[in-house]
Amino acid sequence: MTLCEWVEGLVRLSHIAYPSNRGRTSESFEELVESNLYPLYGKVLLIQDEKGKHDWDTLQLALNGSLDLLQEIFVYFSSMEASSAEGDTMNVTEFMQMMDSLEMCDHHLSLSATIDIFVRCNQEECMHFLGEAVDGSRLEEEMEMEFEEYRDALLQCAMMKKKTLEAAAGGKPIRDEDAVFMMLRQMSSGWKNWQAVCELRKLHANASADFENRMLSLTTETVEPLRRGRMRITVKTLAK
């Protein structure tokens, strides 16, 4: 596709997505540019700026001390969906569930931002889907990240959470490595809390099932009838 063909395609798309009440092509195209192209261009510039701003190879080394923890978390959450029960790849829903369950999100790292990070770390899959037609219903289960891409995504999350740490420190700059270590500490704490929550839910479910079974087993044959006399239930009224 040439540049002219690409622009022509955008013009036709603008007519469909943003029809003008007055039938003007310029209004439809302007709305397409304002609502989609400008935000997309801003994200591209941000990605390019982020790539040159951080030493990603050095930050990868900062994760090496917590590989067992990261692998354990990755396998657990990547096994939650039936489409990836083996736990060797993680889709975007599982990635969002992990970030939410471990309470990793804040006002800088929102759940919508985690989707952008997931897509950014799956450039190979994105180019594959852009190059050929793909069934939209299967997009979620086909577009998945492996453990190496998962590590890249965590580093990008740490760089976004770095802004929150700097704001909490009164604007004091924080080293990239320190931001990664703080995020790992938060992940470890969130993982322990999540395991405790899951254990409590399991105990509560077992206790509820035992109580229900016990109540269903109560019949006239299994419950001893009340004896006559003082042991029977009586209702006392106040003396006048």
Q: What is the average per-residue pLDDT within 55-73?
A: 87
Contact criterion met (CB below 8 Å) for 175 and 62: no
pLDDT at position 94 is 92
Specify the CATH architecture of the domain 55-203. Orthogonal Bundle (1.10)
For residue 12, pLDDT beyond 50: yes
CB distance 32 to 10 below 8 Å? yes
The residue-averaged pLDDT of 208-216 equals: 80
Other Cβ atoms less than 10 A from the Cβ of 90: the count is 26
**SS3 call for 229:** coil
Q: Which of 66, 97, 101, 110 is CA-nearest to residue 191?
A: 101
Which of 115-124, 207-216, 217-226 has the lowest average pLDDT?
217-226
This prediction's pTM: 0.63
CA 101, CA 186: separation in Å to the nearest integer?
A: 12
With a cut of 80, say whether residue 144 has pLDDT above it: yes
Numbered ranges of CATH 1.10.238.10 in the chain? 55-203
Look up residue 145 and give its DSSP letter.
E
Rounded to the nearest integer, the mean pLDDT of the chain is 79
